[in-house]
């Protein structure tokens, strides 16, 4: 009954697990703050989140592929002039770009935070309120003085079994109480990407049964970072399997 010893040197496995650990996955995120440690007031929880790479922004979401219902919270922190800044997060059904995006917008109007929807047809948009081409409900926004943060919340109905979406996020100044063009340099020109709604859920979204269960939050990167995470966890799974069966 002498079982053969594992053929894979443990040191090698150690190296692999280090290289593919979640720490590695979040290495492209801003070091200052992480979405995974954020808690929303009133016990609202989102099983998945990502630290967006530009504009001090974070996206949190809860997604049910079988229904296509996506619940999101977009947070833009560290806003220099909160009373005169608009922020927006948008889905773009055609490309990770500004034109064609279906935006959720928030800013302070007469001292009162307001949130609404605005489809973006051209570069000269002043983000006028109008209906979107995607089904969006319950758009609300909240301001937090502590970290000068505006958060936009909404429900979005996607086509069933949608797994990825193009998204764009943005901030810009106000003039005469109206949003005007955002900066055309730095992060403001790079704040778009493709998001995999499912890879962000893999660690904690499954259960959902117990009301008091703490849903483990995970942050995943967009684009390459998400791919790396996926790649990394894949390796972990495969090697756990190898070790377990050798």
Ligand X SMILES: *[C@@H]1O[C@H](CO)[C@@H](O)[C@H](O)[C@H]1NC(C)=O
Interface residues toward ligand X, by CB under 6 A: 160-161
Q: Of 114 and 162, which has the nearer Cβ to ligand X?
A: 162
Q: Of 27 and 164, which has the nearer Cβ to ligand X?
A: 164
Nearest approach, Cβ of 93 to ligand X (angstroms)?
Answer: 17
- Residue 111, both tokens: 């001292």
Q: Of 161 and 183, which has the nearer Cβ to ligand X?
A: 161
In whole angstroms, what is the distance from residue 68 CA to residue 241 CA? 33
In whole angstroms, what is the distance from residue 199 CA to residue 75 CA? 20
In whole angstroms, what is the distance from residue 222 CA to residue 192 CA? 10
Nearest approach, Cβ of 66 to ligand X (angstroms)?
Answer: 6
Nearest approach, Cβ of 197 to ligand X (angstroms)?
Answer: 14
CA distance to 22, 28, 233, 234, per residue, from 228 (Å) = 10, 11, 9, 10
| Count of CB atoms situated within 10 Å of the CB of 241 | 10
Q: Of 161 and 164, which has the nearer Cβ to ligand X?
A: 161
Nearest approach, Cβ of 158 to ligand X (angstroms)?
Answer: 11
Burial class (CB in 10 A: 0-12, 13-18, 19+), 90: buried
Long-range contacts of 123-127 (CB under 8 A, 24+ apart): 123/98, 123/99, 123/181, 124/181, 126/178, 126/179, 126/180, 127/86, 127/88, 127/103, 127/179
Q: Of 101 and 199, which has the nearer Cβ to ligand X?
A: 199
Nearest approach, Cβ of 32 to ligand X (angstroms)?
Answer: 39
- Whether residue 106 contacts residue 115, with contact meaning beta carbons closer than 8 Å, is answered with yes
CA distance to 61, 115, 140, 182, per residue, from 104 (Å) = 15, 7, 9, 15
In whole angstroms, what is the distance from residue 85 CA to residue 78 CA? 11
Locus of tokens 């979005």: 156
Nearest approach, Cβ of 65 to ligand X (angstroms)?
Answer: 7
Q: Of 30 and 65, which has the nearer Cβ to ligand X?
A: 65
Nearest approach, Cβ of 178 to ligand X (angstroms)?
Answer: 41
Q: Of 27 and 163, which has the nearer Cβ to ligand X?
A: 163
């Amino acid at each position: 009954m002498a079982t053969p010893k594992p053929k894979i040197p443990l040191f090698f496995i150690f190296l692999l697990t280090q290289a593919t650990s979640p720490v590695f996955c979040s290495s492209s995120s801003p070091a200052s703050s992480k979405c995974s440690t954020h808690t929303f007031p009133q016990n609202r929880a989102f099983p998945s989140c990502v630290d967006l790479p530009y504009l001090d922004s974070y996206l949190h979401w809860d997604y049910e592929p079988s229904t296509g219902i996506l619940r999101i919270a977009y947070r833009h922190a560290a806003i220099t002039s909160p009373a005169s800044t608009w922020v927006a997060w948008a889905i773009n059904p055609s490309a990770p770009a500004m034109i064609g995006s279906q935006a959720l917008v928030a800013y302070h109007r007469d001292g009162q935070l307001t949130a609404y929807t605005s489809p973006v047809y051209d570069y000269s948009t002043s983000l006028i309120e109008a209906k979107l081409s995607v089904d969006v409900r319950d758009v609300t926004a909240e301001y937090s003085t502590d970290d000068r943060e505006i958060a936009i919340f909404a429900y979005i109905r996607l086509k069933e079994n949608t797994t990825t979406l193009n998204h764009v996020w943005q901030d810009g100044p106000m003039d005469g109480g109206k949003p005007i063009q955002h900066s055309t340099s730095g992060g403001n020109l790079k704040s778009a990407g493709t998001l995999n709604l499912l890879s962000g859920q893999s660690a904690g979204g499954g259960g959902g049964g117990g009301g008091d269960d703490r849903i483990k939050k995970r942050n995943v990167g967009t684009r390459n970072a998400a791919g790396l995470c996926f790649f990394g966890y894949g390796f972990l799974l495969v090697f756990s399997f190898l070790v377990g069966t050798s």
